[in-house]
Amino acid sequence: MPRAKLGRTTGHRRATLRALVTALLEHEKIETTEAKAKEINALTDEMIALGKQNTLHARRQAMEFITDESVVKKLFENIAPRYADRSGGFTRIIKVGQRRGDAAPMVIIELV
């Protein structure tokens, strides 16, 4: 599971990561802080690996983590088949600078 605590309690951190992974799979590109992007990188790769298995058990495991059923459907029908030949590294992190308010390093994380 997560390496960084991100200044949150366990439940809040898990909910944040679930929401970010769901948003990334839904929109295929999101802007977030560098620390959060590094955390969701591995989680997104796990979800795509489940999508590549394309079994009922894998779909149920994905439903446990992803908060939107339509995103799970998109994962299994559209996203995972794109990466059938690829064994890993499904996401890319691009640094975009610092956030104006608190100077947190911001990145764009997207599906390759």
Domains, the chain, with CATH or none: 10-111 (3.90.1030.10)
Helix axes 34-53, 56-65, angle to 10 degrees: 160
pLDDT tens-digit series, residues 30-81? 999 999 999 999 999 999 999 999 999 999 999 999 999 999 999 999 999 9
Q: How confident is the model at residue 1 (pLDDT cuts 50, 70, 90)?
A: low
CA-nearest of 28, 20, 18, 23 to 65 is 18
Give the mean pLDDT of the chain. 95
